[in-house]
Each structure stands twice: as C-alpha cells, then as structure tokens.
Amino acid sequence: MSSSTEIADTSENVLSSSDGYSYEDEWWEMNCSIIPPEFNRLMLVGVVGAVIAFISVCFNTFLFVVLCRNPRHRHSHLVYLMFLSVADIFLSAAYILLFPVNLYMDYFASELLAAAWWSYMRIMITISHVFISTSAFLICAAAFERYITISKIACQFARHHRLIIIGACIFIAIIAKGPMYFEFEVVPNANCTGVTSLTAIPSEFSESEPYKTAYKFWFRNLLTVALPFIMCFYLNFAIMHRLRIQHLGAKLFRFATSEHRQNIRAATLMLVAVTCSYLASNLLNVVVYTWELVDKESLLSENIRPLYTLSSDLVSLLTVVASACRLPIYLVCNARIRCEILDYVDNCVLTHLHIKPYSGLGSKRCRATTVRYCDTGSGYMVYDAPNKKGERRVRSVGTGLDRVVLSVAMGSIKASQSTTHLTIPLNNNAMIIQEE
C-alpha cells in the first residue's frame, strides 16, 4: 500500500509540474514571443512605404529650399506651399521611424532597434499626427484663398495675414493632436526580455470621461478628419465651377486664345490635383472613422481585424504618397515653380557637379516681359521692351471689340491714377503692362 501511495503521489507531482510548465509556456507565447510580420505587410510598409517616404522627404526638402530662395514667396500664396513642404518632411520622416522600423525590429528580432523605437515612439506619433493635421489645414486655407480670389470676394485678411493663418493652423493642430503624447505610457512587459521587454498601455486620464468620448473621439476626429475633408471637397467643386464660368465668359474676347485656355486649365489642374490628392489619401480614413462611429467592436472581431489592420496601414501609406506627389504636381501644373526649380537645378546643382545643363530646359521656362500700351489713335498697340540690339517690336492687341474694352478700361484707370501697372499671366509668360 505504501508503495502504491508513493507512486500515486509522484504521478500527481509530475502532472502538476507538467501543467505548470504548459501554462507558463502558453503565457510566455502570448505575451513575450515575437510575432514576425507577414510577408505582404513587410513588403507594403517596410519596403514600398519606406521608399516612398524617403522620396517624399527628398522632394519636399528640395521644394522648401527652392521656395525659400525667393523672398517674394513669403508674401504670396506660395507661402502655404512652403510650410506645407515642411509639414510633409516631418510626417514622412516620422513614417519611416514608426512603421518600417517597427516591422524591422520584429522581423530581425533586433534589441537595438527595439530600444531605439520605444525611446522615440511617443514623440514621433505625436509629431506625425500634428503635421498630418497641419497639412490638411494648410490645404484648406490655400483652397479658401483661391476661392475668394476667383470669386472676387473682398477679403483682404486672407491675403495680407497669411502667416497668422498658418500659425492658427499649427496651433489648432497642436490643440487637437498634441495631447496624444500623454495618452499612453511605455512600461516593462512583465518578465519579458529582449525585443518584447517593453509595451505601451493607455494612461489613466485618456480612458476617463468625458475626455475619451467628447475630446478624443468626437472633437479630434471631427476637427482633423471630417471637417478638412468636407471643406476641401466643397472648395474644390466651387473653384472648378467658378473657373468654368470664367472660361466660358473669356471666349467673348480674343484674349481667350488657346494659350489663355491652357493657362486656365493649368491653374485648375494644379489646384484640383493638390486637393484631390488629399481627398483620395483621406477617403479611406473617413470610411474607417465612420465605421468606428457606427460599430467599432466589429472591427476588432477575428474576421474583420486583418482588414482593419490593412486599412490602417494603407491610411498612413496614402498620406505619404500624397506628400511625395506634390512636387511632380507643381512641376507639371505651375510654370512659375517649374521655372524656379529648373533654374535652381542649372545654377546650383548641375554647376556644382560640373555637368552641362540640358539645353532643352531653357526654352520651356517662364519669363517676365514688360510691355506698354500706347494709344495710337487706331487702337491700342503693344510696344515690347527693346532687345539687346535696341530693336522694339510693335503689335496690335485684340479685335475691334477688344480695343473698345481696353480703351474704356484704360480711361477709367487714368481717372484714378496717372501711371498704372497691370499683370496678365499667359501660358508660360508673365506680361507686366504699363499704361502711358
């Protein structure tokens, strides 16, 4: 009997130790094991996303340098593009440091990358969200100024206080997204070591009411997601409608030549492309936000969660894609920026590298030509500025109806001031007009 009792006790101890080992192993696997990223996600975020974000950083840094070289841009509507490029630089750099590095540290099980990532994770998440919201507000501000300009609405504040508007955009973005830094904490992950030694948990105040529902969910999402999207959509549609009306009206005059129509289309294309790139990159974000508003629990279910993760990755990736596309959009649509970029490449980049500039670029650059309208008695004539040989080219302007309109306009201007300067943009030329 005693021998049987000892065998039973020994078997019970073995089972209990075996059960204890399996429970500990299961706990370790759930909390401390490294889950390598899926191959598709690694390629999408870790390779494609990293390359696009790096291109975005290079493009926007180059664009910022080009725009800063001209002091006149600080007092024009291009100042919005200057600060927009700065926002794109920061959010693209933050994308590289947050998403690809996070996948690399799990894929390579690198403790060095893990220590670095956890050290800057909170501040980088906050910076990326602040500048994402800033870029959205800047696009809305630029679109609004463009709308009131083509609508001939008397609003000098938008034109003369652009820096104040830009400062307000940054301030509102900080108010909406700045507290994200304090909404979670980095703490030790129980007894885990290595890559999984740290984890992030929500802070107490971020889960308290009314902060969680009123501020985080309603105020923040409505202000930084829904409102900019709706404003850009409306302003984009309104600008296209206004330009279409002006284009139809311009057909009454000879000035509405193919060059004039191309200039209108170019200005429209640039504005539409910038706003549409923002709308396209944020459409999925709006869809996900709406789904969270209706039924957030379903997104965390076993069947929908992989789609939710993929959608979150695409939202961040599309934002970086939109940032990288801005410089190509400006090059294609805006002759003024294209001219400055090509001049900078020739004078600063190619010269320093001792590379002969491409001769075909100069022919497409925009130049400013000063002309004079002089009443000759037989309609208004254009006297171009003398060339190097001292020769002056004279050409007639418009049809008979155009001359009548110009005569009336110049007569009205003479009554108000003796000397007048007007500027008429052409397709690739800016024509400065002086009436004598």
CATH code assigned at 254:
1.20.1070.10
pLDDT at 32 over 50: yes
Number of domains forming the structure of the chain: 1
pTM score of the predicted model: 0.73
Is 135 contained in some domain? yes
For residue 146, what are the contacts with CB-CB under 8 A and spacing of at least 6?
77, 235, 239, 271
- Max avg pLDDT among 282-286, 366-370, 394-398: 282-286
pLDDT at 412 over 80: no
> Span 309-336, mean pLDDT?
88
Is 320 contained in some domain? yes
pLDDT at 233 over 50: yes
If pLDDT is split at 50, 70 and 90, which confidence band does 103 have? Answer: very high
Is 418 contained in some domain? no
pLDDT at 116 over 70: yes
Structural domain of 116: 36-347
What proportion of the chain, given as a percentage, has pLDDT over 90?
A: 25
- Residue-wise pLDDT for 151-209, tens only, equals 766 566 666 788 899 999 999 999 999 999 999 888 888 778 888 888 888 888 888 88
In angstroms, the CA 279 to CA 322 distance is: 9
Say what the pLDDT of residue 152 is: 67
Is 234 contained in some domain? yes
Is 413 contained in some domain? no
For residue 380, what are the contacts with CB-CB under 8 A and spacing of at least 6?
373, 374, 396, 397, 403, 406, 407, 410
In angstroms, the CA 125 to CA 180 distance is: 8
Instruction: Go through 401-433 and write b for each residue having 16 or more CB atoms within 10 A of its CB, e for each that does not.
Output: ebbebbeeebeeeeeeeeeeeeeebbbbebbeb
Say what the pLDDT of residue 405 is: 59
Is 99 contained in some domain? yes
DSSP string, 237-297: HHHHHHHHHHHHHHTTSTT-SHHHHHHHHHHHHHHHHHHHHHHHHHHHHHHHHHHHHHHHH
> Span 107-115, mean pLDDT?
90
Three-state SS at 12: helix
Look at 298 and 170; give whichever has higher pLDDT. 170
Is 28 contained in some domain? no
Tokens representing residue 381 in the block: 């004539």
For residue 264, how many C-alpha atoms fall within 13 Å in the half-sphere facing its CB? 20
Residue type for 231, please?
A: M
**Residues listed for the chain:** 436
Look at 380 and 135; give whichever has higher pLDDT. 135
pLDDT at 139 over 80: yes
- Residue-wise pLDDT for 63-81, tens only, equals 999 888 888 877 777 888 8
**Residue corresponding to tokens 């390598």:** 36
* Cβ-based burial of 295 (10 A; exposed 0-12, middle 13-18, buried ≥19): exposed
Tokens representing residue 364 in the block: 């497409």
Is 306 contained in some domain? yes
Is the separation of the CB atoms in 430 and 368 below 8 Å?
yes
